[in-house]
Amino acid sequence: MNRPSAPMSGRAIGTRRVFPERARSFFASSYPEGTHKLDHNLVGHPLLELDALALLGEALPARSCEYNRGDLPIGVEGKPEGNGFSIGETIRTIATSNSWAVLKNIEQNRPFAGLLHALIAELAPIIEARTGAILRPQGFIFISSPNAVTPYHFDPEHNILLHLRGQKTMTVFPAGNPRFAADRMHEAYHTGGARELAWRDDFARDGVPFPLHPGEALYVPVMAPHFVQNGPEVSISLSITWRSDWSFAEADARAFNTILRRMGFDPAPPGRWPASNKAKATMMRVVRRLSRRP
**Mean pLDDT for the stretch of residues 42-68:** 96
**Mean pLDDT for the stretch of residues 2-15:** 42
Domains, the chain, with CATH or none: 21-243 (2.60.120.650), 248-291 (no CATH)
Distance CA 41, CA 43 (A): 6
SS3 98: coil
Residue 68 has pLDDT above 60, yes or no: yes
Q: Which of 98, 222, 103 is nearest to 172 (CA)?
A: 222
With contact defined as beta carbons under 8 Å apart, do 62 and 250 qualify?
A: no
pTM above 0.85, yes or no: yes
How do residues 124-165 score in pLDDT, each as one tens digit?
Answer: 999 999 999 999 999 999 999 999 999 999 999 999 999 999
- The mean pLDDT value of the chain amounts to 92
With contact defined as beta carbons under 8 Å apart, do 131 and 122 qualify?
A: no
Distance CA 237, CA 45 (A): 12
With contact defined as beta carbons under 8 Å apart, do 98 and 71 qualify?
A: yes
How do residues 197-255 score in pLDDT, each as one tens digit?
Answer: 999 999 999 999 999 999 999 999 999 999 999 999 999 999 999 999 999 999 999 99
128-131, long-range: CB < 8 A, 24+ apart: 130/31, 130/32, 131/31, 131/32, 131/158, 131/244, 131/245, 131/246, 131/247, 131/273
H or E segment to which residue 227 belongs: strand 226-230
With contact defined as beta carbons under 8 Å apart, do 207 and 135 qualify?
A: no
Q: Which of 31, 274, 5, 240 is nearest to 134 (CA)?
A: 5
